[in-house]
């Protein structure tokens, strides 16, 4: 078995640390791990495989000999350093939005569109937005069987989507203290904030725009109507979504259920009589996408409603990135 030299850029953040955990848990064949962060974090350590690895400051020499560079350090860092890593012969898997909508950059959810990654050449591969990933996992089998005309989605996103600052603000507010560093424009404890990222001129937020554009790119259908409202709620981990989907062809609920159950990485919890449905507390720390509350939407022809929950740090970020690395490895090794 080949082993690989991996740089994790943004290794001290929530997603970066989770990337290290997932690499270890999934036994990705690693010959060397280099945790990379800003100059401020250089010299600190992060755990991996029972060791404390020293964090190094980002620079061009970091990427010498690197096979895979996992980036989770924000768009500006990715725009500066991802091309450098590729120049050094690495494949870059970037968790920011910097490259997602570039025509020549694959935007990959391995269970959904693995074929969009043509080969193992050094390149930038984009990891989609967390809320988009779990949604397209749920939608992909429906797109293949029936086609999708329109999606109306309301998200209920955890504070960890805003990083450690989001977790800290919620924790301090729940303790009755004022947070010195605010991740949100209003108190989050006891609130639901219909505002994630910046507002655009048409009233849409950039988070909502990502869900529109990325969904169409991943599902390879620019005609799909996507109408999202993204909401931040006082939950530490996991994003939840209410999906109202208008399919292009008639369907039977049992056939939809079968299609979802057959998809790798999906767990169906759908027994309303026993109050069994996906919850953030169930999905936390898991890599699967949990789906439930399947039912017809009586307000539209061929309408389907479902409830989708997934861990935003894992499948919504770190795990999907490592799965892309696994897919790239299979292409490289010709398996």
Q: Please tell me the CATH code under which domain 131-312 is placed.
A: 3.30.360.10
Q: How far apart are CA 186 and CA 83, in angstroms?
A: 37
Q: What is the mean pLDDT of residues 188-201?
A: 97
Q: What rounded mean pLDDT belongs to the chain?
A: 96
**pLDDT tens across 120-137, in order?**
999 999 999 999 999 999
Q: Which of 88, 116, 130, 238 is catalytic?
A: 130
* SS3 assignment, position 226: strand
Could you give the count of Cα atoms lying within 13 Å of 246 in the half-sphere of its Cβ? 13
What is the predicted pLDDT for the residue at 59?
95
Decide if 193 contacts 231 (C-beta within 8 A). Answer: yes
Q: Among 88, 238, 239, 244, which one carries the catalytic annotation?
A: 239
Q: Judge whether 310 and 238 are in contact, CB under 8 Å.
A: yes
pLDDT of residue 335: 57
Q: How far apart are CA 115 and CA 126, in angstroms?
A: 14
The answer as to CATH 3.90.245.10 being correct for domain 4-128+317-333 is: no
The interaxial angle of helices 253-261 and 130-145, nearest 10 deg, is: 120
Residue boundaries of the structural domains of the chain = 4-128+317-333, 131-312
Question: What whole-number percentage of the chain has pLDDT above 70?
Answer: 99
Q: Is 195 a catalytic residue?
A: no
Q: Facing residues of 91 across strands? A: 68
> Which residues are 290's β-sheet partners?
267, 309
214-228, pLDDT tens digit by residue?
A: 999 999 999 999 999
Predicted confidence band of residue 230 (pLDDT cuts 50, 70, 90)? very high
Residue 230 annotated in active site: no
Cα separation of 106 and 85, whole Å?
17
* pLDDT of amino acid 1: 63
* CA-closest candidate to residue 260, choices 298, 313, 304: 304
Predicted confidence (pLDDT) per residue in 130-188, tens digit: 999 999 999 999 999 999 999 999 999 999 999 999 999 999 999 999 888 899 999 99
In order of 135, 152, 164, 169, 260, the CA distances from 292 in angstroms are: 13, 17, 29, 30, 10
Average pLDDT over residues 55-68: 96
Residues 6+ apart with CB under 8 A from 308: 134, 135, 138, 240, 241, 243, 278, 289, 290, 291
Q: Examine the pLDDT at 108 and tell me if it is beyond 80.
A: yes
pLDDT of residue 192: 98
**What's the average model confidence in pLDDT over 322-335?**
93
């Amino acid at each position: 078995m080949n082993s690989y030299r991996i740089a994790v850029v943004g290794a001290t953040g929530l997603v970066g640390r989770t990337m290290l955990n997932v690499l270890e848990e999934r036994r990705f064949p690693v010959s060397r791990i280099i945790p990379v962060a800003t100059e401020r974090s250089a010299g600190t350590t992060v755990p991996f495989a029972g060791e404390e690895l020293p964090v190094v400051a980002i620079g061009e020499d970091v990427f010498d000999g690197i096979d895979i560079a996992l980036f989770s350090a924000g768009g500006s860092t990715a725009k500066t350093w991802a091309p450098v890593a590729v120049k050094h012969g690495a494949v870059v898997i970037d968790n920011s939005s910097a490259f997602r909508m570039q025509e020549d950059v694959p935007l990959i959810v391995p269970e959904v569109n693995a074929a969009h990654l043509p080969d193992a050449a050094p390149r930038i591969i984009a990891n989609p937005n967390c809320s988009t990933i779990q949604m397209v996992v749920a939608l992909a089998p429906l797109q293949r069987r029936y086609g999708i005309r329109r999606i109306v989605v309301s998200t209920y996103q955890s504070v960890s989507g805003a990083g450690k600052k989001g977790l800290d603000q919620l924790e301090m507010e729940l303790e009755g203290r004022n947070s010195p560093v605010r991740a949100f424009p209003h108190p989050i404890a006891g609130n639901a904030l219909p505002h994630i990222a910046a507002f655009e001129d048409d009233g849409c937020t950039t988070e909502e725009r990502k869900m529109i554009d990325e969904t169409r790119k991943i599902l390879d259908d620019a005609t799909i109507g996507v109408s999202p409202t993204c909401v931040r709620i006082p939950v530490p981990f996991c994003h939840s979504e209410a999906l109202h989907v208008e399919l292009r062809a008639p369907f039977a609920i049992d056939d939809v259920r079968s299609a979802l159950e057959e998809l790798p990485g999906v767990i169906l919890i759908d027994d309303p009589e026993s109050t069994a449905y996906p919850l953030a507390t169930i999905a936390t720390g898991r890599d699967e996408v949990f789906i439930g509350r399947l039912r017809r939407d009586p307000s539209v022809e061929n309408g389907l409603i479902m409830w989708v929950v997934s861990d935003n740090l894992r499948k919504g970020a770190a795990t999907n990135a490592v799965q892309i690395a696994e897919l790239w490895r299979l292409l490289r090794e010709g398996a």
